[in-house]
Amino acid sequence: METKAQTRPQRLTRAEQQAQTRERLLAAAERVFARHGYEGASIDLISAEAGYSKGAIYSNFESKEAIFLALTGLYMARSMADLEKALDVAPDQLADALNQWLTNFQTDNDCLLLVTELQLQARRNPTFAASYYRLQEEQTRTLANNLKRYCKASGTAMPVNAMDLAGALIAITHGLALQRPQSDIGTPGRVIRAMMKLLTRP
């Protein structure tokens, strides 16, 4: 028979509570930045979206820019983890896995809008740019390494610099997705598939 102590929910530690609050604040900030843009977003809007007071925000972040930087790191880490998971397949399945990752990436509207805001803020703010471009390079390098795997598995030489090709694929996917209605989700995938066939033709 279970005792009361065994059935009572375990209380979170102070550190766990703070981590949970921070996670909720960042999730709320992601929605607000995607909806209003960096300039239109505010601490008031983020706190209201998260259901916390402004004091909760300032106990975790120094400023709106600090939230944006933290969100950048979170987004890039999530994106790279999804990419690594998607491409953890047999060599002959890499092309389809790559296309699927790019398709999933461009069908997430909040993600696309957030990426656009990240790029704009990097252009405007040199301090933010230093952090953003470092994280962006890590994401591009992850894709580049898997493109090398794909070329090796298909028995073809890498047609261009792997980092250049990876950056171009991400940029093309992002650009095509933003130019078309959300109902037309297949175009970037079709373009990338055709490009990869041409680039890796023996």
Superfamily of structural domain 64-202: Tetracycline Repressor, domain 2 (1.10.357.10)
pLDDT in tens, 59-97: 999 988 889 888 877 877 777 787 777 777 776 777 777
C-alpha 153/C-alpha 21 separation (Å) is 45
- What the block records as the tokens of 131 is 């952090």
Going by C-alpha positions, the residue among 11, 7, 12 that lies closest to residue 22 is 12
pLDDT in tens, 167-177: 988 888 778 77
The CATH 1.10.10.60 portion of the chain extends over: 12-61
Going by C-alpha positions, the residue among 201, 195, 189, 102 that lies closest to residue 151 is 201
C-alpha 16/C-alpha 200 separation (Å) is 48
The CATH 1.10.357.10 portion of the chain extends over: 64-202
Distances (CA, A) of 87 to 50, 137, 177: 34, 18, 21
Q: In the predicted model, what is the mean pLDDT of the chain? A: 79
The pLDDT assigned to 6 comes to 55
Please state whether the predicted TM-score (pTM) of the whole model is above 0.75.
no
Confidence tier at 200 by pLDDT (50, 70, 90): low
pLDDT in tens, 136-163: 888 889 889 878 887 887 788 888 899 9
Q: Contact, 101 vs 189, CB < 8 A?
A: no
Instruction: Between 46 and 112, name the one with better pLDDT.
Output: 46
Assigned architecture for domain 12-61: Orthogonal Bundle (1.10)
20-24, 141-145, 188-192, range with the lowest pLDDT: 188-192
Cβ neighbors of 186 (< 8 A, separation 6 or more) are 103
